[in-house]
Amino acid sequence: MRERREMTPEELDGWLRAESAADDAEAERRLALLFDALVEPAPRPGFTARVLASIRAEEAAVRLARRRRFRHLATAAVLLSAAAFAGLLLAGPGGLGAIPALGARCLMAAGAIGRGVAWFWTLFATAFVPVAEALFRPWIFGVAAALALSSILMLSSLVRCLEREKGVVHALLPH
């Protein structure tokens, strides 16, 4: 901390003289001396701690917002995946025999879209989310990995289920 120095009348006098003589360099030097003798105002004790506390509070709010975003994204992806699963099951010829042919075709198309969405989610969960989030918080990597694993398991069970329904997989594959 700077030692406080008392201002003297001579210093003020010297500056005013330099100003009246239009001696810029001398006036600047002398005014700097006057400023040096001014009391340096200080914030209340504990200022640094208060700044750091506000930073910590803001970081916590950012983390919370990010977690919420991630949760919404995961929920949307799971719902889409479920829709894809349901679509594929319903679209199969043996899945729901009562559905008319046109309806079945629509459901098959929905199933194909759903399959794309499911694969996209799998790729997203396994590649993008862990890399992006692990940069910030390692524990998110674990959550993302669990989600990716569940997606893969879901897809593999879906494929097995479809394989049991003869012709469905073949019908959904592009020709």
Partner 1 sequence: MQEAPHQRVEGRVPTDETLAIRAREGSPEAFARLVERYERPVFGLIVRLVRDPALAEDLAQEAFLRAWRALASFDPERRFASWLLRIAHNAAIDALRRRRTMPLVSLVMEDDGEEEGRERELPDLAAPNPEERAAGRDLARALEQALAGLRPEYRAALLLRFGQQLSYEEIAEVLSLPLGTVKTFLHRGRAALARALADAGYRLPTRGGETGGRSGT
For 174, phi then psi, to 5°, come to: -70, 140
Residue 69 CB, shortest distance to partner 1, in Å, is 19
Residues that bind partner 1 (CB under 8 A): 1-2, 6-13, 15-17, 19-20, 24, 27-28, 31-32, 34-35, 37-44, 47-48, 50-52, 54-56, 58
Residue 8 CB, shortest distance to partner 1, in Å, is 6
Residue 62 CB, shortest distance to partner 1, in Å, is 10
Residue 51 CB, shortest distance to partner 1, in Å, is 5
Cβ-based nearer residue to partner 1, 79 or 135: 135
Total count of residues recorded for the chain: 175
Cβ-based nearer residue to partner 1, 56 or 164: 56
